[in-house]
């Protein structure tokens, strides 16, 4: 079952595409976090969604908010993906143990070995304040993220 609005977001520590450790708890008390799970680096829909997030980065990843994207790809694949697509925000590797963080949020697709398109807005206290879950082929609307984050930090 997916994490619900009002629940404490499961903490995690993952490596980003530059082998830097990133933990959700490191933002507690400082920034809201937009946590975006996506199935696979280099896939068409994921590439478009993450490029749209890059275009909106200034509105999402700033003094009040942080943008973190998570997939079950390896850190090495994420490094090449971020360089190829010019993605300057953290792409976190939930590679091993495979999909543990996606599982803790209730959005791991066991049959395909990937995260579903789950998005969670986490406030500075670590509570989930907004979320949306999309199936694998469904594209997310970045405008919804921006609006939810603006409401949270207003």
Domain of residue 140, CATH code:
3.40.30.10
117 inside domain: yes
1 inside domain: no
Q: Are the C-beta atoms of residues 55 and 87 closer than 8 Å to each other?
A: no
* Token pair listed for 49: 């969604």
114 is catalytic: no
Quick one: pLDDT at residue 153?
64
Specify whether the backbone of 130 is left (phi greater than 0), alpha (psi in -120 to 50) or beta.
beta
User: Per residue in 119-140, pLDDT tens?
Assistant: 999 999 999 999 998 777 777 7
Number of structural domains the chain divides into: 1
User: Per residue in 9-64, pLDDT tens?
Assistant: 999 999 999 999 999 999 999 999 999 999 999 988 889 999 999 998 888 889 99
7 inside domain: no
Average pLDDT over residues 71-82: 97
User: Residue 141 pLDDT more than 80?
Assistant: no
**19: burial class by Cβ within 10 Å (0-12, 13-18, 19+)?**
exposed
24 inside domain: yes
Peptide bond into 97 cis (omega under 30): yes
Active-site residue identified among 14, 46, 77, 116: 46
Domain span including residue 46: 13-153
8 inside domain: no
């Amino acid at each position: 079952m997916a994490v619900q609005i009002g629940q404490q977001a499961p903490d995690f520590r993952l490596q980003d595409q530059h082998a830097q450790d990133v933990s959700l708890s490191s933002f507690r008390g400082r920034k809201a976090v937009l946590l975006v799970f996506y199935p696979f680096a280099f896939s068409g829909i994921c590439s478009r969604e993450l490029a749209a997030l890059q275009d909106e980065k200034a509105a999402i990843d700033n003094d009040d908010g942080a943008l973190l994207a998570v997939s079950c790809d390896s850190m090495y694949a994420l490094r090449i993906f971020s360089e190829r697509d010019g993605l300057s925000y953290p792409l976190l590797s939930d590679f091993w143990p495979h999909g543990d963080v996606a599982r803790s949020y209730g959005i791991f697709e066991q049959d395909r070995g990937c995260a579903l398109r789950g998005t969670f807005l986490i406030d500075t206290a670590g509570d989930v304040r907004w979320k949306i879950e999309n199936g694998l082929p469904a594209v997310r609307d970045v405008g919804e993220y921006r609006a939810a984050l603006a409401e949270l930090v207003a």
